[in-house]
Amino acid sequence: MLRKGLTIIVALFAVLSGLIWYNAYLPISPKLKGDQKLIPFLFNFNNELGQIVDDKLGLVAKYKWYRWFFSAISTSNSLLVAKGITITDSVISGIPVKIFRPELAKEGERQYRPGLIFFHGGGLIFGSVNWTCYIQQCIMIAQDTKSVVISVEYRLAPEHPFPAQFEDCYSVVNTVTNEPRTFGILNNKIALAGDSAGGQLAAAISLNFAKQNRSSELVGQVLIYPLLQLIDTLCLPSFQKYKLGFQMDEEQTAYLMSVATTGNGDMKQEYLNGNVTRYFMRTPFWQFLEIPETSNCEVYKDSANITLPSDFVSKVTDPRFSPLLAKSVEGSPPTLLMIAEYDVLASEGILYGKRLGAAGVPTVIKVFKTYHAFLNRLSIPFINTPIAKQGMEDTVNFLNSVFYR
């Protein structure tokens, strides 16, 4: 028995050592130097382990492994400094939230402040307001903009399929905009922000407000390397360039999109073999992705007749799920679009920024020579984070410009 146990331990050690070596030396792009490799390494390492525990061993679904892995490394808040900020857990319209409120510096100071509603990333299937990286970002925004920051703990797929995430976030925004003073927030001084899937939610809610002629209730939005469409994972230039060697690879992206839309991995292979892209290339929705680079894509030349589940098609073309596919983006609030150049999502971010500009929306596009989720480095002590700090500085400057202009 002892010998068998030792064999298992040695085998596990060998597997983990091999994965560390593989992720540290093989797939990370040479464009990333030094500690810039840390987060891509963690994502790649997690993805490899997820495939073992799910695809190979059948122990746990990969999305559950993602949640456990990132929660395990993202909920140590002992090193966070929230000077001048009071942090409370609360509930708005039945949705759990974490509120970051600047303390009054002196008696009689103005009680009401601007408000920012923040949506975390995680592909709509993982992530939490309790992750250190998001707590850190919300603290810094609250400190440097003197605003009340409300971080939303929306329900996650696949247990709660779309549109649950949109509905949760919309409910919070709707309540805060209707009753701002209840939360110590100034009337008509509310902005939205989110990273990755959180950026998707922020953009979708802004479009929904515009559709209801409520544009004036939002003064701005910060879309941080946002996910904006779910109909292509092959032909947009950034998918072709950055699917290997950076943070989000082709397989991981396809898996996350499949789980977010169908609740399982059934559509993953349809994404990977190009069937999703082929299908939508023959629909009016492709006009929002059609640029010269996509016409050179191999699947573009394939004339095969593809069919996809109608429920899947309905979901991925809903503007609440794929804001880039909205017929109009007019009425969106002034926007800061932060794009990571080495990110599979970069192309759709640039396309969305161009659409906003063409619709007359004041839009600032900032492109950083780094990878997806780079702002999360702000919560990691003792590493060089100049790009992450610059990203936060740009966020704060933009928010101050729309809060206090």
Contact yes or no for 403/219 (Cβ under 8 A): yes
Least confident of 93-107, 111-125, 172-186: 93-107
Residue 333, pLDDT > 90, answer yes
pLDDT at residue 27 in the model:
64
Q: Is 220 helix (H, G, I), strand (E, B) or coil?
A: strand
Q: What's the per-residue H, E or C state across 319-384?
A: CCCCHHHCCCCCCCCCEEEEEEEECCCHHHHHHHHHHHHHCCCCEEEEEEEEECCHHHHHHCCCCC
Choose which CATH entry (3.40.50.11540, 3.40.50.300, 3.40.50.1820, 3.30.930.10) describes domain 77-103+112-404. 3.40.50.1820
Identify the residue with better confidence: 352 or 26.
Answer: 352
Minimum mean pLDDT among 222-231, 330-339, 378-387: which range?
A: 378-387
Higher pLDDT, 4 or 62: 62
Which own/partner contact pairs does 138-141 have at CB distance under 8 Å and 24+ positions apart?
Answer: 138/98, 138/100, 139/80, 139/81, 139/82, 139/85, 139/87, 139/100, 140/378, 140/392, 140/396, 141/100, 141/116, 141/193, 141/392, 141/395, 141/396, 141/399
- What pLDDT, on the 0 to 100 scale, is given for residue 220? 98
| Alpha carbons 160 and 124: distance in angstroms, whole number | 10
pTM, two decimals, is 0.91
C-alpha closest to that of 215 among 334, 302, 328:
334
Helix ranges (H only) for 179-267 are 197-211, 237-242, 250-262
Q: What's residue 130's pLDDT? A: 94
Q: pLDDT digit string (tens) for 146-164?
A: 999 999 999 999 999 999 9
Per residue in 266-317, pLDDT (tens digit) is 999 999 999 999 999 999 999 999 998 888 888 877 777 899 999 999 999 9
CA angle 65, 38, 253 (to 5 degrees): 50
- The domain limits of the chain are 32-74, 77-103+112-404
Stretch 27-48: mean pLDDT, rounded?
Answer: 72
Burial class of residue 209, CB neighbours in 10 A (0-12, 13-18, 19+): buried
pLDDT of residue 5: 53
CA–CA separation, 149 vs 192, rounded Å? 10
Per-residue pLDDT at 17 exceeds 60: no
